[in-house]
Amino acid sequence: MSDRSRAAILSVFLFAFACGVWELGSRASSPPLPREGSGLIATSAQAARLPRPSEIAVFAAEQLSDPFYDRGTNDKGIGVQLAYSLLRVLTGYLLAVLVAVPLGFVIGMSRVLMAALDPFIQVLRPISPLAWMPLALFVIKDSAAASIFVIFVCSLWPTLINTAFGVAGVHRDYLNVAKTLELSPLRSALTVILPAAAPTILTGMRISIGISWLVIVAAEMLVGGTGIGYYVWNEWNNLDLKAVVFSILMIGLVGMALDRLIAFAVRFVAYDP
């Protein structure tokens, strides 16, 4: 059996063990819930404890059986909410990549320019993306576009910095060979520098997509409307903890899927002698 198979079996075992402990501990420490129709008493009892894994599994099966329903502003399926969030994330993320990669190339190929821009980057980079939200709402006056702008800002810096350092770190021998072959600057950038710096660039893009998915949840909680962040906050206001835990799990699964996609691209371009 391969190491990957053993790791997969161990992961399943740990997950099952954690759910089993949670289920047994919850049943041992909590009285049974009142029957449906008990009104405020049932609602208060449900809000008094975390839902059990078995209850979350039943709720998840119900939600995933019809994830794309749309019955109004505050009643949309989990698939619809995730689709809105993914659209905003990918829009802001791709815009950031289109800006960060060319700009990172220019910065990385000039030590003087890198030194000149470094203070600005170091001042702007630590600013929380959510700190830009009030200004974005004031200027753009649209919550969805403001969320995309916040994603753009948080995605920009990791990709920009990694691209600049990746380009600056290309081995000088590669550039000397390009000069010897009398390649044009554009051809040198595309055929020599880009392949050499690609693993570092994609690592920055991988960091950016993870940060983007983190930020969109908080941004949607602030601006409301639609999206997985708004869904979590709305269900919390409804005291539906099953929906809250279920949405947290969905956020984690989608985030893992996005990370794996970029990780696959990193392995694909990595040089393995």
Which domains are delineated in the chain? 78-269 (1.10.3720.10)
Other Cβ atoms less than 10 A from the Cβ of 63: the count is 18
Q: What tokens does 228 get?
A: 């997985």
Is pTM, for the whole model, over 0.75? yes
Question: What one-letter code names the amino acid at 109?
Answer: M
pLDDT of residue 197: 86
CB 56 within 8 A of CB 26: no
Q: How far is 249 from 268, CA to CA, in rounded Å? A: 29
The share of the chain scoring above pLDDT 90, in percent, equals 32
Helix axes 53-65, 3-29, angle to 10 degrees: 110
pLDDT of residue 169: 84
Q: How far is 269 from 251, CA to CA, in rounded Å? A: 28
Q: How far is 177 from 170, CA to CA, in rounded Å? A: 12
In the predicted model, is pLDDT for residue 99 greater than 80? Answer: yes
pLDDT of residue 248: 92
Q: Which residue has the higher pLDDT, 165 or 180?
A: 165
Give the angle subtended at the CA of 40 by the CAs of 37 and 42, to the nearest 5°. Answer: 60
| Band of residue 41 on the pLDDT scale cut at 50, 70, 90 | very low
CB 71 within 8 A of CB 218: no
Q: How far is 80 from 63, CA to CA, in rounded Å? A: 11
Name the residue among 34, 27, 53, 45 with its Cα closest to residue 245.
Answer: 53
| Band of residue 273 on the pLDDT scale cut at 50, 70, 90 | very low
Helix axes 228-237, 78-108, angle to 10 degrees: 140
Q: Identify the H or E element spanning 110.
A: none
Q: What tokens does 206 get?
A: 């991988």
pLDDT tens, 180-235? 776 777 777 777 888 888 889 999 999 999 999 999 988 888 887 788 989 999 88
| E runs forming strands in the chain | none
Q: How far is 223 from 20, CA to CA, in rounded Å? A: 37
Q: How far is 138 from 50, CA to CA, in rounded Å? A: 39
Residue in this structure with the two tokens 């819930």, named with its chain if needed = 33
Q: What tokens does 23 get?
A: 């289920």
Q: Which residue has the higher pLDDT, 179 or 144?
A: 144
Length of the chain as a residue count: 273
pLDDT of residue 48: 54
pLDDT of residue 186: 75
In the predicted model, is pLDDT for residue 36 greater than 60? Answer: no
Other Cβ atoms less than 10 A from the Cβ of 144: the count is 17
